[in-house]
Amino acid sequence: MQDNIVKIEALSHRYSKDWAVKDVSFGINKKGIVGLLGSNGAGKSTTMNILCGVLSQTLGRVLIEGIDMRTHPEEAKKRIGFLPQNAPLYLEQTVDEYLTFCAHLRLIEKRRIKAAVDMVKERCGVAHFSNRLIGNLSGGYRQRVGIAQAIIHTPQLVVLDEPTNGLDPNQILEVRQLIKEIAADRAVIFSSHILSEIQATCQDIIMIEGGKIVFKDTMESFNNYIEPDSLIATLENPPGEAELRAIKGIKEVQFLTEKTIRLRFETGADIAENLVETSVLRKWRLKEITLEKSSLDAIFAQLSNKKSKPAVQP
């Protein structure tokens, strides 16, 4: 078994009277990407801020390679790279100026600073923008510079909060690939409220809702665990919404095109068989049917209510 680079024990934090995080515990190994998934306000950012030493917890312990973040914060922080949701960029600086400044902040020896800056520029694909003002870069390249500052001191843990937020589809793919490359030789925590981002990038997943962990396992296990709650049907002769709603188990009908329809159904309903039988009987000419996985809200509801499957630590 690998030693954990991160170990969080019974972590709880309260703002005034409200608990943002309550009794959160998990460990993370030394390589790969762990997704931290939760809806807005679930407690993800609080957990990451405590993990990175930005915030001091009310209760519990955070250990980075065995070093307690509360009692030895400087030593613990040396081992962490952090990209918050709003990247800490100085738009009036060039890429070189900014990364050199970050290298000084990270206490890198002066004789090694240039090599460290050159290394992260090359790795993050921004070397050709060395003398460009950060304010003149696109959103995708700004995010790359933000990731570069997070890894300039070669930390064993990199924490990324919503790293693809606000990027266009091509930029998202590029940043995903960069994150996967970085995770080849270190641990990465990838936080998002978007399920598809976590599914596309991470090997393990930790889900937080209401400040508590509701799921902790591999992504493969997670994908097998969540239940479908809707299907997409293509009908050559589609009926009106009222007729579709009359099918046993259907609770919502949404026309995506003239002939393509999303049907949401009750948990446990044998909706596919009911639809096929009704389509044949009424000559709707069903052409295609595809099950969809649950929405994020539905998944949280399932995980909060189910106790039969034990959570497994990544």
**Single-letter amino acid code for the residue at 132:** R
Residue 173 pLDDT > 50: yes
Average pLDDT over residues 281-307: 73
Average pLDDT over residues 292-304: 64
pLDDT of residue 222: 83
- For residue 159, give both structure tokens: 């924490």
- pLDDT, tens only, 111-152: 999 999 999 999 999 999 999 999 999 999 999 999 999 999
Residue 229 pLDDT > 50: yes
Residue 101 pLDDT > 50: yes
What is the value of pTM for the model shown? 0.75
Contact 127, 121 (CB under 8 A): yes
- pLDDT, tens only, 53-63: 999 999 999 99
Residue 2 pLDDT > 70: no
* CA atoms 145, 146, 147, 149: torsion sign: positive
> Hunting for tokens 């994020």 — which residue is that?
296
- pLDDT, tens only, 210-225: 899 989 999 888 877 6
pLDDT of residue 64: 95
What is the domain partition of the chain in residue ranges?
6-224, 228-293
At the topology level, CATH places domain 228-293 in: Alpha-Beta Plaits (3.30.70)
Q: In whole numbers, what is the pLDDT of the chain averaged over residues?
A: 89
Please spell the DSSP secondary structure of the chain, one letter per residue.
-PPPSEEEEEEEEEETTEEEEEEEEEEE-SSEEEEEE--TTSSHHHHHHHHTTSS--SEEEEEETTEETTTSHHHHHTTEEEE-SS----TTSBHHHHHHHHHHHTT--HHHHHHHHHHHHHHTT-GGGTTSBGGGS-HHHHHHHHHHHHHTT--SEEEEESTTTT--HHHHHHHHHHHHHHTTSSEEEEEES-HHHHHHH-SEEEEEETTEEEEEEEHHHHHHHSPEEEEEEEESS---HHHHHTSTTEEEEEESSSSEEEEEE-TT--HHHHHHHHHHHHT--EEEEEEEEPPHHHHHHHHHH--SSPP---
Q: How confident is the model at residue 295 (pLDDT cuts 50, 70, 90)?
A: low
pLDDT of residue 293: 66
Which range, of 157-166, 204-213, 220-229, averages the lowest pLDDT?
A: 220-229
Q: How confident is the model at residue 298 (pLDDT cuts 50, 70, 90)?
A: low
Residue 50 pLDDT > 50: yes
pLDDT of residue 304: 58
pLDDT of residue 290: 86
pLDDT of residue 300: 66
Contact 10, 23 (CB under 8 A): yes
pLDDT of residue 313: 44
At the topology level, CATH places domain 6-224 in: Rossmann fold (3.40.50)
**β pairing state of 32-37 and 187-192:** parallel
**Single-letter amino acid code for the residue at 7:** K
**How many angstroms separate the CA atoms of 58 and 263, rounded?**
45
- pLDDT, tens only, 81-92: 999 988 899 999
Bridge partners of 82? 159
Contact 46, 69 (CB under 8 A): no
**Single-letter amino acid code for the residue at 222:** F
pLDDT of residue 312: 41
